[in-house]
Amino acid sequence: MDHFVSPSLLAADFGNLEKDIRMVNKSQADWLHLDIMDGVFVPNISFGFPVLESVRLLSEKPLDVHLMIIDPDRYLTRFRDAGASVLTVQYEACTHLQRTVTEIKELGMKAGVALNPHTPVSLLKNILRYIDLVLIMTVNPGFGGQKFIMESYSKIEEIREMIDSGGYEILIQVDGGIDTTNAPKLIKTGVNVLVAGKSVFSSSDPANTIQRLKTLT
């Protein structure tokens, strides 16, 4: 299958989000990625519901929402109502993960589970049949612009083998330090969705960078 590109709004110009969203609309991007941070699960605070609702009104791309928050179950319906098409929760933040992802799917969204760099993919063995996406964090979550963690490749290979051997239709997404130099190897290793922030929005031609990420093989 062709891979997806999901530009991360965390790296956009916060003083002119509308301009950057409209750029993404016109680009070859498949989704628009939003990181929701609460300042507790990760040491940073990002978007709240008012921003997400405004982005939904502007974006022509499905909203790919990653919750880096504690106790996400409290807000699943609100994120659906605010416009999320894909909702990913952190493995480390969910006490009853199967219940959480089941509710996400019942609310009509695709359900994803994200793993921090130190969390082994083997822990997902018994949850794979309930989800649509696995997000491998390739940096420690909380801030954009970090350096890609090289050990991520072996994690991707392992989760790809788990998915394929089980016959599951699950997308593998990566987020953190993704650019046109490491994207080809990531795709070859088995990644389906590239989340790119700084490499897109800090480039001289963001739409062209998205196109390059999209057309890599």
Residues 6+ positions from 29 with CB-CB distance below 8 Å: 5, 6, 7, 61, 210, 214
Catalytic annotation, pick one of 38, 64, 132, 175 = 175
Residues 6+ positions from 164 with CB-CB distance below 8 Å: none
Helix axes 17-26, 49-58, angle to 10 degrees: 40
Q: Is 73 a catalytic residue?
A: no
Catalytic annotation, pick one of 30, 35, 38, 64 = 35
Q: Is 132 a catalytic residue?
A: no
C-beta neighbour count of 129 within 10 angstroms: 11
What's the CA gap between 195 and 175, in Å, rounded?
A: 5
Query: Which residues are tagged catalytic?
Result: 35, 175
